[in-house]
Structure 1
Amino acid sequence: MKKIFGLGIATGLIALSACNSTPREQTADNIEANAEAVADNLEDAADNAGTPTLEDNLENKADGVRATGQNQADDMRTNDPDTNLSNGI
């Protein structure tokens, strides 16, 4: 019973910590998650590539997508959308 109670408290605390995220932080997290998903798909395609050159190109694209996603997410977290249009808002 104590384990179930402890698990319930831990789950509740995790849920509460997620509520403290700002919409901006959630958007940045979504940007990162989307970029990661696209990069993963590119890497899967690279694993099935017929030539080493194509494999390298796809892996490089995956790295670029991850870097771009990270940069956009960082920009979303650090720049004020009302005063800095570099983040596209």
Structure 2
Amino acid sequence: MEARPMILDEVYLFLKNAGHAPTHATFSTDYLGHSARYYDYLRCSGAAPSLRSLLKVAMCLHDLAQAVPCAAARKTAALLSHRVMTRALTRCQ
């Protein structure tokens, strides 16, 4: 059985393709607020991302959606921000 991809995989690919997170280490530190190998740990272990990480990356995506000039990138960033925040809020219940 193949593992279901994490929402963070989609976020990372978007940020990488947009030139904002060229490496897993950058994504882990700048967007998830953890050590350089945190994203790798999540991917290898199958562990759920921390609530703090979800909130941080959702806010970063929200800010990015307000700042980027490309309409398609704004829309994608806003959509991903909403999806990540929804995931974070469901964890709080």
TM-score range, shorter chain: 0.3 to 0.5
Structure with higher Rg: it is 1
Highest RCO, 1 vs 2 (Cα 8 Å, sep ≥ 6)? 1
- TM-score, normalised on structure 2? 0.41
- TM-score, normalised on structure 1? 0.42
